[in-house]
Structure 1
Amino acid sequence: MKTVTAGVLEIAYHETGPLDGKPVILLHGFPYDVHAYDEVAQQLATEGWRCLVPFLRGYGPTRFLSDETFRSGEQAALGADLLAFMDALSIPSAVLGGYDWGGRAACIVAALWPERVRGLVSCGTGYNIQNIAMAEHPVSPEEECRYWYQYYFHSERGRAGLAQNRRDLCRFIWRIWSPTWTFDDATFEQSYLAFENPDFVDIVIHSYRHRFGGIPGDPALQPIEALLAKQPDITVPAVVLQGADDGVDPPDAIDYAASHFTTPFYERRIIPKVGHNLPQEAPAAFAAAIRSVAR
């Protein structure tokens, strides 16, 4: 594991493969960590890729440089962190791959700074940039039910629950979001260590409260949020991966996100017998998607 000073953070990351290899940055989600990409990185590194897998803000050994920095979990923060990470490592452009929070960071950089992105692999809905202005509009009862954890985190009871019961809560989420993935105790505990970061609770709570417009974000990030409010299109080569058994974000029959990908190369691939944690459940499919967009 390595660390680098990037923006407001000292970012911890895993690096695999040759230093002069084609760079690919792989980004985890909530509540997961860098180990989601262990097999993906191993596969790509043996083919000559330089694989970089950072811990997001609030996870693992990644730390804020100042106690005074706003502990924001908003989408603009994730995108800004990724761009700062690339700048700190002098990476002019890379293939980006991510899911959940990591997919959001990757989509943001691809949309706002396309010259920095050679290709994109995004999971779940695919276009993971939040439309906060629409957050007050209800969706179907079935979809609302899947968002129970977000509403839970809006309350102080939910904050206390995450702080006091984070192991059981995160493990429960793993189980219901990936109902056909049989993971063992060692696999979960390896990732659970990342959730003991001192900023984990604050970052998670802010993320889920901000995305509904209920609390303000970091004023320093408002210019990025203003750009994201316009729901910018993604113009780089892209593959969207969706787990057929995803318990929180199941694929729709219609690819509603496709209209946001104005690129000559775009594919949606639905992976059978796979849930939400797609790179860890189906590393070969994820690695294949990375190869597809590296043009």
Structure 2
Amino acid sequence: MPIITTDTLAIAYTDTGPRAGQPVLLIHGWPDDGSTWDAVLPMLHAAGLRTIVPTLRGFGETRFLAAETPRTGNSAVLAMDMIALMDALGIERFMIAGHDWGSNTAEALAVGWPDRVARLAMLATPPRLGGMPTPPFAQAQRQWYHWFMATARGAQSVRDDRKGFAHIHWENWSPRGWFDEATFQRVARSFDTPDWVDVTLHSYRARWDEAEPDPRSQWLEDKVKATETLALPAIYIQGAVDGVNPPSASKAVPSKFVGPFAFVELSGVGHFPQRENPRAVARHLIQLFTGTPADLSDTVDRSLLMSKTKPFLAGAAAIAVIAAAAIGVAQARPRGASALTQVAQFDHQATGVAVTADGRRFVNFPRWTDDAPISVAEVMKDGSLKAYPDAKWNSWRNANSNEMPVGDYFVCVQSIVPDGHGNLWVLDPGAPGNEKILEGAPKLVKIDLATNRVTKVIKVPLDVALQGTYLNDIRFSPDGRTGYITDSGTRGAIIVIDLETGKGFRALDGHGSTQIDKSVTVMTDGKPLVRPDNRQPAFAADGIAISNDGKTLYYQALTGKTLYAIDTALLRDGVSETDRAAGVKTVAQTHVADGLWMSKAGVLYISSPTDNGITRLVGDHVEPVLTDPRLRWPDTFSEGADGRIYVTASHIQDTSWFKPGAPASLRTELFSFVPGAAKGK
């Protein structure tokens, strides 16, 4: 078994399944070891998932590096062990399934590192969010071993016969005859370590304040106690005949999850679901990890009773059935929103989309990896493209750049946005290939939608569009007089343009909220997105949205995980940068995001390239709206008069930037969906 060394441990683990698959961390419980997942793994692998199975501190081949390190076992310190393992493996974002101790370790990971944990499955042990009250007498009786280990005599008894102590729990916690003795003896070898008893005693004593948690983890223990709910997609798997944590002990579990959630009860199953009924567990994990979060729903699973399924066996037929089911749910319709509908497909990379009040639809094609033959197009009813506003504005070609005045043509259009006053504005950063700005090329072009004629060109000067700037997206004040542009280039900023005078300035220039977050790794297809020279995408302030009353501007760096906002009053000319910086508000911790959109209903939508999805802001957190494997790099939004939301899939991860040998021209798509009501609205 491979070993990874952290600052305190040598952690034994396995890393199996498709290397390009979405990573899943599977954490075992007590008294058990990593083999608890053995019968589940083949089915997860068949569904395209990569699995990392560690051995917890005190168990098996995992060892402490120093004699002076406290032999602690509280959930928060176990979570810190797990994050150190994932750091060492270079895995930034992942999903988790945890059983027993692993359940609360997974919960602590979701609390402590919400930007890294994408989805969560807890098995057989309820969350401790908000703290652990003293249990009622009936549950305290089932947990007799907790109190037994809190005494000196009880602790000595565990030291004297650790296997006997573990064995009685295997017997009592699940139906009679569920395991064979040879299996238990194999697992019990993981308890024959110098530290198993000390880690065990500390784990149970610390949860009832009979021992202090590991000092390094106190911050996380406090955070779990202070956190009442989680919003990420999650399931809780409950054995119907669990002898230690029966369904009656889990009644409050659903109230701890405010995002997509399912309570799954497995008939005939006790405390070790993944060992007793691996097929059912694998099926529900695959639905969570590969399906649409909004499709999660409470289930009483009677399809695979223990009497019909031998533990530890997963036949090839079951793998095929479950993998096929996973493929089926991957494009399932999300609850509260219509299914994703493909509107059009293009032979070149599209980024921006604009839908006007009368239903006209426009897209744009930046010159990133190919010299697109058209920059701005109207999508006609038959799906064909018509150069807009005319062929002349779209006639720029990189090969003829020395012969064509950059101010009179679309050079590298990144975004197109209606202003609500009968005009379509074209944002041209003037930097083909997302590289050097061509002098005089950065501009805003105003087109009258009634006459289809250019009525104004605002050139963005070099003291505003600095070399290294990339004009990314734009939003307008309700009165149509001011434009707010994100600069996603080497020095992020919000660029403010007076649309009447054409004058502009940089705001929050270099401020932390407009810069990349160097702690973020952009992940797609379950792995870091990097160029051949190992550079990852580094895009500063990118997504932008404005409240319907025009008073609040929202923005986020693509290479980031925090959504910010500022009052637009602070973006007026003459306000000091000190006052602006003081007015920046942190709205929510999010995820890697490209496009933002404030709907007419006042809901902020956020694209999520990491999981081919879309989320929305609810209060101070985000919740999933939909995921769909066709939505490769959801980029830019627009909204029709009927409330239908449009989004481009720009396939950035499929470009030759990140896939050497990929064709210069990419096939991309325009999709739409009808949003449902956000929770809490």
What corresponds to 1:142 in structure 2?
138
- Contact 1:180–1:245, Cα closer than 8 Å, also in 2: no
1:72 maps to which residue? 72
Residue 258 of structure 1 deviates from its aligned partner by 1.4
Q: Residue 171 of structure 1 aligns with which residue?
A: 167
Residue pair 1:181, 1:281 contacting (<8 A) in 2 also: no
TM-score (norm 1): 0.93
C-alpha contact (below 8 Å) 2:128/2:224 kept by paired residues = no
Residue 44 of structure 1 corresponds to which residue in structure 2?
44
- TM-score, normalized by length of structure 2? 0.41
Residue of structure 1 equivalent to 2:112? 112
For the structure 1 residues 66 and 254, does the alpha-carbon distance in structure 2 shift closer, same or farther, using more than 3 Å as the test?
A: closer
**Quick check: 18-27 or 200-209, which moved more?**
18-27
Structure 1 stretches of at least 4 aligned residues deviating more than 6 Å after TM superposition: none
After TM superposition, list the pairs within 5 Å mapping 1:22-33 onto structure 2: 22-33=22-33
Aligned 8 A contact 2:28 2:34 in 1: yes
Match in the other structure for 2:243: 247
Q: What is aligned with 1:284?
A: 279
Equivalences for residues 116-127 of structure 1 within 5 A? 116-127=116-127
Cα distance, 1:200–1:254 mapped onto 2, change above 3 Å: closer
Aligned partner of residue 53 in structure 2, secondary structure:
strand
1:212-268 CA-to-partner distances (Å, cap 9, x unmatched) read 1112222222111221221342221101100001000001297312121121x1000
**Separation of aligned partners in 2, 1:107 and 1:215:** 21
Rg larger in 1 or in 2?
Answer: 2
SS in 1 for 2:156: helix
Instruction: State the AA in 1 paired with 2:151.
Output: S
User: How far is 1:200 from its partner?
Assistant: 0.3
Contact 1:162–1:169, Cα closer than 8 Å, also in 2: yes
Q: Which residue does 1:225 correspond to in 2?
A: 221
- Segments of 5+ residues of structure 1 without an aligned counterpart are none
CA distance in 2, matches of 1:249, 1:34: 21
Deviations 1:90-136 (A, max 9, x none): 1111110011100111111112212111211102244245725x3xx
Q: 1:268 & 1:218 partners in 2: Cα distance?
A: 32
Which of 213, 216, 219 pairs up with 2:212?
216
Residue 275 of structure 1, CA deviation: 0.6
Counterpart contact for 2:174–2:269, Cα < 8 Å: yes
Q: Say how many residue pairs are matched.
A: 290
**Contact 1:111–1:232 under 8 Å retained in 2:** no
Please state how far the C-alpha of 1:56 moved relative to its aligned partner. Answer: 0.7
Distance change (3 Å), C-alpha of 1:129 and 1:5: farther
Give the conservation status (yes or no) of the 8 Å contact 1:130–1:211.
no
Instruction: Check whether the contact 2:229–2:256 (CA below 8 A) recurs between aligned residues.
Output: yes
Aligned equivalents of 1:285 and 1:242: distance in 2?
12
Contact 1:26 1:51 in 2 (8 A): yes
- Partners of 1:211 and 1:57 in 2: how far apart? 17
How far 1:169 sits from its partner (Å)?
Answer: 1.3
Q: Distance in 2 between matches of 1:130 and 1:57?
A: 25
Tell me which moved more, 189-198 or 45-54.
45-54
**SS in structure 1 opposite 2:191?**
helix
Alignment pair present for 1:151 and 2:147: yes
Q: Which blocks of at least 5 consecutive residues in structure 2 are unaligned?
A: 292-681
CA contact (8 A) 1:78 1:104 kept: no
How far apart are 1:180 and its partner, in Å? 4.2
Q: Which amino acid aligns with 1:69?
A: T
Q: Following the alignment from structure 2 to structure 1, what is the Cα–Cα distance between the partners of residues 142 and 241?
A: 13
Point out the structure with the larger helix share.
1
Contact 1:114 1:235 in 2 (8 A): no
Name the counterpart of 1:267. 262
- Report the alpha carbon displacement of residue 32 of structure 1 after superposing the two structures with TM: 0.6
Is the 2:59–2:191 contact (alpha carbons within 8 Å) kept by the matching residues of 1?
yes
**3-state secondary structure, aligned to 2:40:** helix
- Taking only aligned residues, the RMSD between alpha carbons, in angstroms, comes to 1.7
With 274-283 and 175-184 compared, the bigger mean Cα shift is at 175-184
